[in-house]
Chain A
């Protein structure tokens, strides 16, 4: 696949064959080399084949080989002529990250770190098919979760209005239609609310190690040494099933509407078609489930803080922000000097709206939207804010994480003769995991260095660094 360098941080995949537009990849030399030998760049080109695409098919510096769309992909489609694609959102609909800032300093937490990580591990079920016996949702409550998202959880007493103000879309997407979610999906989601799941999902205790913009960091409650809790999870089995169900619908729809697909996983339907509308209702319902899931997990994280510290530690733990990184949204963007309604697909990419954007809650209006970028479990994570550059160039989008660079098989082979939890403990990081397999597959070396990913984002102007957070405790599925 031909790649043309545009500048130090941008690469073009020139339009060819059935592509309707160019591809645009944000990466430095090293990150682009990581893509050699896999299909990620081809996947950027494949996305450019889809009807109604506006601007280039974009990939963030954490791009890696996915299925259908690459992970780290952003694509905008015209609302009238464009398509919506479950493969452009992913199986884990509204997989996302939330960051909590506690009132505690790392010096206070170190002596009781193991207790805290154990408490989080006990309180928030993780691992394969993790479920909660205490929050088994009845049919009616599940419908409300799908309709109202985090708002339903707060209404049950698990959190506050202040939490809702710090969630993308206030934790509740209006386009949700629970009727469009299959019984099978509802069955898979019934007892998984408030659970972290497996794979790359986690709950992580960290602290503010470095600050690049002290003013913004202070406004976000990220003083030096502040202990934080990162939560990374999504819509669990319910979301996976929604995606699966609608891939079938969209495969049929692509044939019906004469859409040529370079990869079946890109199957899609016109946004305004009956198939597109039903997927939209189901996707937003699953996204609301994910918002509710992270809200409930945050409640249990506060409960763990209460158990190990005190009521005040729990009560003064604030939600910094909560972002989706697998979602499609209707948004207005300037295209060639005029506002245009678009459907933005972000698959492994984060919305990064600039200061002044009307959709931001008042407390973020002059800062720009917080963008949360978790790294691997051994190094660091970052907090950024959205920029004008992102709004102009990437439809208000930024990266979402480190991005894998090594297959799980290879990572496991590498970890086989090692004791990864012990290695991490020697670095001051306590790990609790449901299975050894997950920890081995998630070794830090399996990921790109997130600092390099974030540096490209910062240098290219599609996000601005605010603070770095270092992990001290990790709960894995």
Chain B
């Protein structure tokens, strides 16, 4: 199970991610980012784009993964659907089915910390919008 929940933040957008493992956090982060980009529109896992893992700890790896997903959207209009073994599944933005909601500038490091306990993994991410 993965989940995300937007939490109050005055200027930007903060989201709390929960999952059973580190990879699940990536999926929760992708789901949150997709909602910010195109709302609840369906995005098909039609194509795959590779993402090179970067970062020395789980927090940095998560931020980099989501930053790379955002980069794929910003440069190639590639919308994320889900996490694949070596990157991300998704499809190109289709104006007949997708409505752009807002520009997400970046995935910030502000207050980001991946934590884990017996109930699973948790992280809060602030997106600069």
Q: Which residues of A contact B (CB under 8 A)?
A: 38, 40, 64-68, 71, 90-92, 127-129, 184, 187-188, 197-199, 237, 240-241, 243-244, 247, 251, 263-265, 267, 404-410, 434-435, 437-438, 441, 477
Contact B100 A127 (CB under 8 A): yes
**Residue among B10, B107, B110 making CB contact with A405, cutoff 8 Å:** B10
Report the contact-size class of chain B (Cβ under 8 Å from the partner): 20 to 34
Question: Binding site of A, secondary structure by majority: helix, strand, loop or mixed?
Answer: mixed
Given A187-B75, A265-B108; A65-B9 close (CB under 8 Å)? yes
Question: Binding site of B, secondary structure by majority: helix, strand, loop or mixed?
Answer: loop
Contact B10 A407 (CB under 8 A): yes
Contact A66 B8 (CB under 8 A): no
Tell which of A247, A408, A435, A441 has the most Cβ of chain B within 10 Å: A408
Contact A184 B71 (CB under 8 A): yes
Contact B103 A71 (CB under 8 A): no
| CB of A402, distance to nearest CB on chain B (Å) | 12
Asked if B51 is at the interface of the complex by the 8 Å CB criterion, the answer is: no
Which residues from B are CB-within-8-Å of A405?
Answer: 10
Which residues from A are CB-within-8-Å of B128?
Answer: 67, 90-91, 240
- 6 A-B pairs in the complex with CB atoms less than 8 angstroms apart: A67-B126, A68-B108, A90-B128, A129-B100, A188-B75, A407-B10
Given A264-B109, A264-B110; A67-B99 close (CB under 8 Å)? no
Q: Mark B33-71, 1 if CB is under 8 A from A, else 0.
A: 000010100000000000000000000100000010001
| CB of A113, distance to nearest CB on chain B (Å) | 27
Contact A199 B101 (CB under 8 A): no
Which residues from B are CB-within-8-Å of A441?
Answer: 102
| CB of B25, distance to nearest CB on chain A (Å) | 17
**Residue among A71, A240, A263, A434 making CB contact with B100, cutoff 8 Å:** A434
| CB of A246, distance to nearest CB on chain B (Å) | 12
Which residues from B are CB-within-8-Å of A477?
Answer: 103
Tell which of B6, B11, B73, B99 has the most Cβ of chain A within 10 Å: B11
Which residues from A are CB-within-8-Å of B103?
Answer: 127-129, 197-199, 477
Cα distance A107–B10 in the bound complex, in angstroms:
38
Given A91-B128, A188-B74; A128-B100 close (CB under 8 Å)? yes
Cα distance A410–B110 in the bound complex, in angstroms:
21
**Residue among B13, B107, B109, B110 making CB contact with A408, cutoff 8 Å:** B13
Given A199-B129, A237-B74; A66-B106 close (CB under 8 Å)? no
Contact B101 A66 (CB under 8 A): no
Asked if B118 is at the interface of the complex by the 8 Å CB criterion, the answer is: no
Given A128-B102, A128-B103; A68-B110 close (CB under 8 Å)? yes
Which residues from A are CB-within-8-Å of B37?
Answer: 128
**Residue among B6, B11, B60, B106 making CB contact with A244, cutoff 8 Å:** B106
Cα distance A82–B45 in the bound complex, in angstroms:
48
Cα distance A237–B99 in the bound complex, in angstroms:
20
**Residue among A65, A67, A128, A437 making CB contact with B108, cutoff 8 Å:** A67
User: 9 closest A-B pairs (Cβ-Cβ)?
Assistant: A67-B110, A198-B103, A128-B100, A265-B110, A264-B109, A67-B108, A65-B10, A240-B105, A437-B101
Cα distance A128–B12 in the bound complex, in angstroms:
16
Given A66-B11, A91-B105, A187-B75; A408-B99 close (CB under 8 Å)? no
Contact A129 B126 (CB under 8 A): no
Cα distance A40–B10 in the bound complex, in angstroms:
10
- Not counting A38-B9, A129-B77, A199-B103, a sample of 12 additional A-B residue pairs whose C-beta atoms are within 8 angstroms of each other reads A65-B10, A66-B110, A68-B110, A71-B11, A91-B128, A237-B75, A263-B110, A265-B108, A265-B111, A404-B10, A434-B100, A438-B102
Which residues from A are CB-within-8-Å of B110?
Answer: 66-68, 263-265
Contact B102 A199 (CB under 8 A): yes
Which residues from B are CB-within-8-Å of A251?
Answer: 60, 109
Which residues from A are CB-within-8-Å of B8?
Answer: 407, 409-410
| CB of A132, distance to nearest CB on chain B (Å) | 15
Contact B106 A240 (CB under 8 A): yes
Contact B10 A64 (CB under 8 A): yes
Which residues of chain B (1-17) have a CB below 8 Å from chain A? 6, 8-13
Tell which of B8, B12, B60, B109 has the most Cβ of chain A within 10 Å: B109
**Residue among A67, A198, A247, A434 making CB contact with B12, cutoff 8 Å:** A67
| CB of B125, distance to nearest CB on chain A (Å) | 11
Which residues from A are CB-within-8-Å of B111?
Answer: 67, 263, 265
Cα distance A411–B43 in the bound complex, in angstroms:
26
**Residue among A92, A264, A407 making CB contact with B112, cutoff 8 Å:** A264
Which residues from A are CB-within-8-Å of B108?
Answer: 67-68, 91, 265
Contact B74 A243 (CB under 8 A): no
Contact B9 A435 (CB under 8 A): no
Tell which of A237, A404, A434 has the most Cβ of chain B within 10 Å: A237
Cα distance A154–B104 in the bound complex, in angstroms:
30
Which residues from A are CB-within-8-Å of B77?
Answer: 129
Contact B74 A129 (CB under 8 A): yes
| CB of B123, distance to nearest CB on chain A (Å) | 13
Cα distance A92–B129 in the bound complex, in angstroms:
10
Cα distance A404–B13 in the bound complex, in angstroms:
13
Which residues from B are CB-within-8-Å of A434?
Answer: 100
Contact B10 A406 (CB under 8 A): yes
| CB of A141, distance to nearest CB on chain B (Å) | 18
